[in-house]
Structures are given as structure tokens and as C-alpha cells.
Chain A
């Protein structure tokens, strides 16, 4: 791929001035891309681009405070970079952004639904509208829209929203269906008791590992998260469904108006709890109240970073 070679050349040029450049390389299976921290030209040669570059490298940026780093981004990842810039968690002069047009990434949970144990997959190739996956039982050809991440089907930002180096022809927004909206509509149609029962049921299998938190590019408290504080001991260590759901509520509220819906929380959940819907709901509320979408405009001020005595859409004295 020419654009991959172009971006590699640009990274090699920039490397001497940077601590590292974060991208992806092939992981432990043909379906798994894994973060790559490029520090030498040989590292850059391992850079990959394509449907298996699933993780969001922006998650690592706040860990490099005070250093200059580069980051290779998909359009959705660039929204996290924008949001981090807006919140002044990352300085623009400290990050060099490399972008390429993104044709979507795979949702491994969906692949597992089609082929079973993805640890047995020994080859995986995307060619246009098809993902071909080979297991010991043979090759399965799956239409791309059945295994693409939900966010990719209706992606409005396939090209980086902010970039210092961009290689390739920009792509138009995706025009597919929006499974996220469908899921949200289904949840909103539930009666409160039914909705609560739904969340209680799915949270039963949560192992409180906090992968959802640590994978989130906007979860920046990290080592000082309320969930594990000792003094005061805000949250009990009980593993009841109630406590697990409580943590998810805290997580979701801390992301109101900040979440860029990259989906890392849900993707990282080892037991596949569909927690992204909680963030989507709050984002929908923020969009409705403040007409604000996180991570699309580096100049915008997130609604929870401002205060107005009279909010246009909040009727404070009306009740």
C-alpha cells in the first residue's frame, strides 16, 4: 500500500525529534493488531494499517506528559486527540499526528459469533467487502458489514480531524446503518424496571478488572480513580452487581460530554459487557442539551468546562 509506505517515510523523518511514535503491528493472531511503539527505523518497518488496527493509540498520550511523541490515528482516534487537546490534557506542540484514511476496523466479538473460537484462527484477510477467516475447519467468508465495528458502519470521520502528516486520498463518510442508534432506541423503549434488570443481568459477569477504565483515552485519573481509593474508601470492594453497576455509572458520568465513542471500554471488556451504550446515552443527552459533540472541534469548549447562569435549553425555573 503506497500510503502506508508514505506515512512510514514521514515517521522515519520525524523520529529523531520524538520520544516514540505510537502505531500498530501484527499481534498474537492474524486477527489481532497490537500497539507498536516506534523508536527506531526498524520499528517503523513493522507498522501496519488496516482492519485489525482496532485499539485507540490516543489512550497512551497522557502517559507521555512532558515528552514529545507521535501518534498514528484513524479518524475516530483523532477525535480523542482533539478532545485531549480541548481539555488541555495534551499540548498541541508535544504531539505529532500521522493520519491515513480509514476504511473501518473489525469487531472481534462479531467475528467470534461467526467462527467460534478466534484463538484458532490461522489466517484473516479483508478484501473489499469481505473478511475471509480461516480456521482448522476451513475458510469462512463474511460480508464486511457483519463484522465491522458498529462505529465504522456510519462513521462520519474516516479521515483524521487533526493531523500534521496525512497520506492517502481522504475517504467520504460511511453511509451504512447505525447499529448504535438502534441499540439505544431499544434500550430507551424499555420500562425503567426492565432496563434496570437488563443492566443488572449483564453486570453480573463483570470481574471489576477496570479494563474499561484503563483503555479509555479520556479516563485520566488512572492510578487515583475513585473506585480504588483507600482513604477515604469511597467504594466497597464487594463484587455485587449493584457495586459493579455503580462503578459503570460513575465512569459514564465522568465522560459526559467528553466521550468520543471510540468504543475502547466495550472492546476491552474481557467478558463482553455492552457498556458503550451508557456513554452513548449520555452523549445523546449532551448533544440535545448543549448541541455539542466531543472531539470534533479543537477550538470548542466542552459544555462541562463552562458555566452559564442561564443555559438555553435547561429550563431551571420552569418547574
Chain B
């Protein structure tokens, strides 16, 4: 890209300080043995050597947010009547997220089709999304749980990023992907990329090489539908799943939520918080009936949503960014790749079902 810049390693802190001075800056930091995103603090070391355990999705889609506050108000004229006053809560906006891997930012392109589409705009999400910029860091090397290339992405995928950094000897090559990103690169700390542009290319090529052969997962769309009623298949696939929500909460593309009214005395708040399809309550109906009574039904939904139902209504786009967090952090080692491949294999073996 013509607009490539070079940021020497020695100027990284100065650039972060500059970004932090003009608004909220969220970076991956080490907390205990975990790497999680949090506000930039020069006294807390950055952790860029490995992808964060939790992606930065809460910056745009918080784990829990207030949608409104309400208070019951007695009618002064007629005390048998109670009215309600409702106060809308507008999200505080604006952050630069630094240091996510491209997959972590690309996840939001999956959200956009759901929360920020014509005729279906979630004002809370849209406000945060518009005010957030992602400065991502291309991967040098693929891990054994990474499969971004299966879902049409890659270690230096610019989709979803505003600035893409590629680590090169002595610093980073920075490329603006969007206008928002170009504005961030206006800093005087940025030098012309020069010879570093070629080094960046080499780093990216090496990262691509470190990935295994990509599987074509497009047949999964039909294959998962074909397996829908095969509960024997799903019982086998979900045997080791413990039905917790770690995979969904760590997933950069999972966006399901719950809404609860948290009452206190005469009023309360309406909260929107992350929900997940691994939970019994997720589909529990008011009648007491639950169409997804077992973990097998629930895991079927998770895999089906990402590789079949979502692509079915969004032009074939897979709702998975291939970051591998669901595999890396699963307490039981459930591997979504195995399930998708098994469903595809099942469809080939039994095409006439």
C-alpha cells in the first residue's frame, strides 16, 4: 500500500501515549497469567507476544450494559395509579483498540450485518462501533488452533481493522485500511516505510506458510442442515463438552445477549448482558418447555449458527473468524474444526438422507 508508514519499536510507547491523550486507548495487558484487554497504563506492561485470551469485543459490545433506567411513580391525584418514568442511557463512546490480532477485529464484520444493517440498527452497538478504531497486529506465526484461512481470512487480513501493523525487525510497518486509520497515522512519530515495506511482505508470506492446508468449509452449510435431526451424531460430537460458556464469551463473532430488568425498590435498570447458546436458559420458554434440552442440542446450535444458518442468510459469509479461542480455551478441548469436518464427512458418506 502506498500509504505505508514505519513506526520504530522505540517510538511505540510515545505513539501509545499520544493515542491515549486524545481518548480512551484499550490494549492487551498481562493480568495474572491471562492476557486481557484493558485501558492503557504505561505502568502495566503490554503483552503483544501472544494473542489475548479474551478478544476486545467488549469495547464495542460490552459484557453487560445499561439500556435504560426506570422508576415507578405514584400518580399524585390517584394513588391507585402508578406511572413509570424511563430514562434512556446513551453509551459513552470512543476508543482506540491497539494490539488485537486481525481475527479479533474481523469478528465485528460479522456483528455489523446483525446490529448495524439497514432497517435493523441497534443504536448502542452502532454508536460504539462508529466511534471505535482498531489498530491490529498481523501474526508472525500460526498456532495449532488457528484456522483463519479456512474461513477466508489470514494472518494479515485487513477486514475489520483501521490500521494494520506488521512486525518487522526494529519496529512495525503501519498501513491505513480506513480513513479513520489514516488519521491515526498522521502522527509525526511515523516515518516513511521505505525498505521496511518489503520486510513486511516477507513476514506476511512466512506467516501464511506456517498455516496448514485450508479446508473448504462451504459444504458445511448444507451438511449441518442434513445432520440436524441426527442426534446420535450430535451426542457423539458433544460428548466431552461441559456446556459452559467459555467458547462463546471468548468468541469474537458470538453476539447473543440476554435482557434482564434488575429491580431495586421502586425502580431499576434494564441490562443487556452476554448470553450464550451453551446455557440451558438460552432457549428456555415461558411455558417451561426447552427446545434445546441437552448439551448436544446446544453445541449443534453453536456450530450450525456459525457455519450454516448465518451463512444461509448473509450470502455465504461464515460467522467464524478462525481465531481458535474456542479451541484453545475450551476446558475439555472441544475442537470446532473436527465437528465441521465430521458433519461434512457425514454428508458425503450419506448423501441420500
Let me know if B281 is at the binding interface, CB within 8 A.
Answer: yes
Contact of B280 among A119, A122, A223 (CB under 8 A): A223
Choice from B53, B143, B281 contacting A230 with Cβ under 8 Å: B281
Q: Is B332 an interface residue (CB 8 A)?
A: yes
* Residues from chain A with Cβ under 8 Å of B280 in the complex: 222-224, 228
Chain A residue nearest to B295 in the complex (CB): A63
Per-residue CB contact flags for chain A residues 252-294 toward chain B (1 = under 8 Å, else 0) read 0000000000001001101111100000000000000000000
Nearest A-chain residue to B243, judged by Cβ: A214
Q: Is the CB of A238 within 8 A of B324?
A: no
Cα-based distance from A267 to B276 in the complex (angstroms)? 21
The reply to whether A239 and B64 form a contact with Cβ atoms under 8 Å apart is: yes
Which residue of A has the minimal Cβ distance to B34?
Answer: A271
Find residues 211-227 in chain A having any chain B CB closer than 8 Å to their own CB.
Answer: 211, 213-215, 222-224
Q: Which residues in B have their C-beta under 8 angstroms from that of A113?
A: 33
B343 contacts chain A at the CB level, 8 A cutoff: no
C-alpha gap A119/B147 in the complex (Å): 12
Instruction: Let me know if A239 and B63 touch, CB within 8 A.
Output: yes
Known contacts A211-B245, A270-B250; decide if A205 and B145 are in contact (CB<8 Å).
no
CB distance from A246 to the nearest CB of B (A): 14
Contact (A270, B144) CB under 8 Å given A32-B333, A207-B249: no
B315 to chain A, nearest CB (A): 30
Which residues of the partner chain A approach B328 to less than 8 Å between Cβ atoms? 28, 119
| B222 at the A interface (CB under 8 A) | no
Complex Cα spacing A271 to B327, Å: 14
- The A-contacting residues of B in range 244-293, CB under 8 angstroms, are 244-246, 248-250, 258, 260, 262, 271, 273-274, 276, 279-281, 284
Among residues 104 to 158 in chain B, which have CB atoms less than 8 Å away from a CB atom of chain A?
Answer: 141, 143-146
B201 neighbours in A (Cβ, 8 Å): none
State the Cβ distance, B89 to closest chain A Cβ, in Å: 14
Q: Name the interface size band of chain A.
A: 35 or more
Contacts of B271 in A (CB 8 A): 236-238
Q: A205 touches which one: B36, B64, B146, B240 (CB < 8 A)?
A: B36
A210 interfacial contact with B, CB 8 Å: yes
Name the prevailing secondary structure of the B interface residues.
loop
The segment out of A33-41, A95-103, A145-153 that lies at the interface is A33-41
Q: Are A136 and B141 in contact (CB under 8 A)?
A: yes
Give the interface centre of B63, B141, B333 by most chain A CB atoms within 10 Å: B333
Q: Which residue of B lies closest to A31 (CB)?
A: B144
Instruction: Determine whether B31 belongs to the interface, using a CB cutoff of 8 Å to chain A.
Output: yes
In the complex, A317 has a CB within 8 A of chain B: no
- B50 contacts the other chain (Cβ, under 8 Å)? yes
Given known A205-B32, A208-B249, contact A35–B244 (CB-CB < 8 A): no
Q: Is B49 positioned at the interface, with any CB of A under 8 Å from its CB?
A: yes
Quick check: is A120 within 8 A (CB to CB) of the other chain? yes
Q: Which of A112, A202, A204, A205 has the most CB of B within 10 A?
A: A205
B284 and A204 contact, CB distance less than 8 A? no
- Smallest CB separation, B271 vs chain A (Å): 6
Closest residue of chain B to A202 (Cβ to Cβ) is B32
Give A136 to B276 CA distance when docked, in angstroms: 36
Asked, given contacts A117-B50, A209-B245, A264-B331, whether A28 binds B240 with beta carbons under 8 Å apart, the answer is no
Closest chain B residue to A230 by CB distance? Answer: B281
Nearest chain A CB to B94 CB, angstrom units: 21
Say which residue of B49, B258, B332 sits within 8 Å of A237 (CB atoms). Answer: B258
Find out whether the CB atom of B244 lies under 8 angstroms from the CB atom of A116.
no
Residue B199 interfacial (CB < 8 Å): no
A214 in contact with B244 given A237-B64, A272-B32 (CB within 8 Å)? yes
**A35 touching B54 in the complex, CB below 8 Å, given contacts A237-B271, A238-B262:** no
Do A117 and B244 contact each other (CB < 8 Å), given the known contacts A37-B239, A55-B331?
no
- Residue A176 CB within 8 A of the other chain: no
Q: How far is the CA of A298 from the CA of B113 in the complex (A)?
A: 56
Q: Given A29-B145, A35-B239, A272-B33, do A116 and B63 touch, yes or no (CB 8 Å)?
A: no
Cβ–Cβ contact A268 & B244, under 8 A: yes
Given contacts A122-B144, A237-B258, A271-B54, contact A210 B331 (CB under 8 A): no
Q: Is A173 an interface residue (CB 8 A)?
A: no
- With both chains docked as a complex, state the minimum distance between the C-beta of B31 and any C-beta of chain A, in angstroms: 5
- Is B329 an interface position by the 8 A CB rule? yes
Q: Are A28 and B246 in contact (CB under 8 A)?
A: no
In this assembly, does A109 line the interface, its C-beta being within 8 Å of a C-beta of chain B?
A: yes
Q: Is A313 an interface residue (CB 8 A)?
A: no
**Known contacts A204-B31, A211-B244, A272-B33: does B63 contact A119 (CB below 8 Å)?**
no
State which residues 9-46 of A face B: CB under 8 Å. 20, 27-29, 32-37
CB distance from A15 to the nearest CB of B (A): 15
- Of B64, B240, B279, B332, which one neighbours A238 at CB under 8 angstroms? B64
- The answer, yes or no, to whether A86 is at the interface (CB within 8 Å) is no
Can you offer 21 A-B residue contacts whose CB atoms are under 8 A?
A34-B240, A34-B332, A35-B240, A55-B331, A119-B144, A120-B143, A120-B144, A204-B31, A209-B246, A211-B242, A215-B331, A230-B284, A233-B260, A236-B271, A237-B273, A268-B242, A270-B249, A271-B31, A271-B36, A272-B53, A273-B34
Instruction: Report the 9 A-B pairs with minimum CB-CB distance, sorted nearest first.
Output: A119-B143, A34-B333, A268-B331, A223-B280, A117-B50, A272-B33, A214-B244, A270-B329, A239-B64
11 extra interchain contacts, Cβ-Cβ under 8 A, other than A116-B50, A228-B281, A272-B32? A28-B327, A28-B328, A29-B145, A34-B332, A35-B239, A59-B242, A109-B33, A122-B144, A207-B54, A228-B279, A272-B53
Interface residue ranges, B against A (CB under 8 Å): 31-34, 36, 49-51, 53-54, 62-64, 141, 143-146, 236, 239-240, 242-246, 248-250, 258, 260, 262, 271, 273-274, 276, 279-281, 284, 324, 327-329, 331-335
